[in-house]
Structure 1
């Protein structure tokens, strides 16, 4: 069963779906002559080399960094179209190649596993196309984000979801490269030979974003602690695929009937490095570790690396919220986490 996100702005061309039944009513109906609507239809026709494809509905999804749409055609095919952010959206340094990153990571996962991720349909980083902007078109995954699931989940159902996520993330770790760092840099042959170099580069990018915007952070302490424990980072010898955001509640799609994971999203910020950098490992449940299959040895090097990764995620959270303020308490939570981890690192 397809479930459209509750925060969608709908643009409907026809009041009837392909079965002849009335479609969902639009909250913001687009004009039949909408340039946006027909640009998307022309894009699909160009991709499939067919003049008969008829676009029936376009849904703009809110609360995304990029401009994200779902496109439904007359034959009930549904796609997700991700375009560059609006001009007033400031991307951080590590987000600059996010469309390319997502396309490459989806292709890698699809070619090496059966994980429930979208299928890339088309990808264009050039602006010479009908919509005049870089885009990523992928298959639509039906399901409800875990973050907005309206139904109560029992402990057994939550354990099943966590167990599945653990299994999926173990599969991610088996996708490997020869160098560390951002996906686009590794793809271009300019990755780092050591994890410490790659991690320092990732951290420095977010710190420089913070400094550029005069964000209040303990920059000296952050740089000091990471440099002090550089040798522990170099114990990570294998660059694994690290989808930093794929396990977040917004990026885990659940079937409301079976209460099972049916899709994973969130690959635009993936890197090659230590799997434990992914946010899903922070406070992972016993069920998650059961699915993952192995729990890291809880020794001093592992614990300190965990603190450094917490430091990185907190810094990203603070800086991101400064550039793109959310509606909740995300920045305060990130700052509390940052204060806690800096104090903890002062004692080790």
Structure 2
């Protein structure tokens, strides 16, 4: 399926909407079972922004109703973005995803994350059955008083990463099969050009996957060079350019979500152990489906959901090792930008070395 251009923007925190709303937003799930109450005066609970008052104000302005009231609020754990769940007095719940703190230095590919996620969530809800949050859309005729943010419905569930030790082998296989099917649905969507979603949807993507991937790689390497991070830049550039002709085997841009299958982005019903939703779509590109999250280490059950396992041709293997080198470089550089978030840099460096060695053998 070929996607039409979308015109969706991320607006400031206190931006108003023209549309009127007197009840709860359609199709919003019930609020979480347990939220810690937050009083309007306890702005410190939310950090510098948003405080309780701005949260309340933003929701009322979006729905053009002074009767909507935030009953409780909670800040969720997030690796980069600040995420808040607002439980309303009518029984519904909303999620606000806000930019990182102002002093957070972003990698080049992270600079349009919220805009990317908003576009992708709307696209997936329009064209697939992938269970993703509903974006709460609003217009830009209000007065901008705060920072950009993304408002969406709340999907109940627990992260797979939190329940991993309590899943049976059968339940894990069921989850992997479902994820494979969702990946198949995602990668069935094509785009007019290659590259980051921000550029493609603005009509500025690349005409070839080779150009797009080399641009992604160069952005990651320059992020590392900016911070004087020690990685084998010359070897990475040499081996990937040496095999770049294999990238020309990819002729049609497909949606690719890097973090779609990561355990912290998959939500489960804690009773049935079925997937209730997928989150974390800030890193999405239009490119080679082989680059999608889950393909590099997918199980047989995962590929049953996908429908087929990639062949073992020289071109496919070369592309997979190039993508592994790219992911490893991004992980290493990201660790140095934000070491407080943890991550296994040693494993990433080992993976990078393995990828370069394999490329040298091809």
Q: Does the CA contact (< 8 Å) of 1:11 and 1:29 recur in 2?
A: no
CA 1:212 to 1:309, structure 2 compared with 1: closer, same or farther past 3 Å?
Answer: same
Which residue does 2:144 correspond to in 1?
Answer: 129
Counterpart-to-counterpart distance in 1, 2:299 and 2:253: 25
For residues 192-242 of structure 1, the C-alpha deviation after alignment (integer angstroms, 9 at most, x for no partner) is 011010000111111000000001110011111111111100100110000
Q: Does the CA contact (< 8 Å) of 1:82 and 1:135 recur in 2?
A: yes
CA 1:326 to 1:333, structure 2 compared with 1: closer, same or farther past 3 Å?
Answer: farther
| Larger RCO of the pair (alpha carbons < 8 Å, separation 6+) | 2
State how 1:1-348 maps to structure 2 within 5 Å: 10-13=36-39, 36-122=51-137, 128-130=143-145, 132-149=146-163, 152-326=166-340, 328-348=342-362
Of stretches 177-186 and 58-67 in structure 1, the one that deviates more from structure 2 is: 58-67
Q: Does the CA contact (< 8 Å) of 1:126 and 1:133 recur in 2?
A: no
User: What displacement does 1:102 show?
Assistant: 0.3
- Unaligned residue ranges in structure 1 (runs of 5+): 15-25
For residues 88-112 of structure 1, the C-alpha deviation after alignment (integer angstroms, 9 at most, x for no partner) is 2111000101111000011111110
Q: Does the CA contact (< 8 Å) of 1:125 and 1:135 recur in 2?
A: no
Structure 1 counterpart SS, 2:65: coil
User: What displacement does 1:12 show?
Assistant: 2.1
Count, aligned residues: 330
Counterpart-to-counterpart distance in 1, 2:197 and 2:39: 39
Q: Does the CA contact (< 8 Å) of 1:177 and 1:272 recur in 2?
A: yes
Counterpart-to-counterpart distance in 2, 1:70 and 1:194: 40
Q: Does the CA contact (< 8 Å) of 2:267 and 2:275 recur in 1?
A: yes
Counterpart-to-counterpart distance in 1, 2:31 and 2:65: 28
Q: Does the CA contact (< 8 Å) of 1:55 and 1:72 recur in 2?
A: yes
Structure 1 counterpart SS, 2:136: strand
Of stretches 285-294 and 62-71 in structure 1, the one that deviates more from structure 2 is: 62-71
Counterpart-to-counterpart distance in 1, 2:180 and 2:50: 44
- Unaligned residue ranges in structure 2 (runs of 5+): 1-28
For residues 56-106 of structure 1, the C-alpha deviation after alignment (integer angstroms, 9 at most, x for no partner) is 112112333111111111112111101111012111000101111000011
- Runs of at least 4 residues off by over 3 Å: 1-6, 122-130, 326-329
User: What displacement does 1:125 show?
Assistant: 9.2
CA 1:35 to 1:347, structure 2 compared with 1: closer, same or farther past 3 Å?
Answer: closer
Structure 1 counterpart SS, 2:312: coil
User: What displacement does 1:13 show?
Assistant: 3.5
Q: Does the CA contact (< 8 Å) of 1:194 and 1:234 recur in 2?
A: yes
Which residue does 1:18 correspond to in 2?
Answer: none
Q: Does the CA contact (< 8 Å) of 1:120 and 1:138 recur in 2?
A: yes
TM-score under structure 2 length normalisation: 0.86
CA RMSD of aligned residues (A): 2.5
Structure 1 counterpart SS, 2:120: helix
Structure 1 counterpart SS, 2:240: helix
CA 1:149 to 1:124, structure 2 compared with 1: closer, same or farther past 3 Å?
Answer: farther
CA 1:83 to 1:327, structure 2 compared with 1: closer, same or farther past 3 Å?
Answer: closer
Structure 2 counterpart SS, 1:121: coil
TM-score under structure 1 length normalisation: 0.89
Counterpart-to-counterpart distance in 1, 2:310 and 2:89: 50
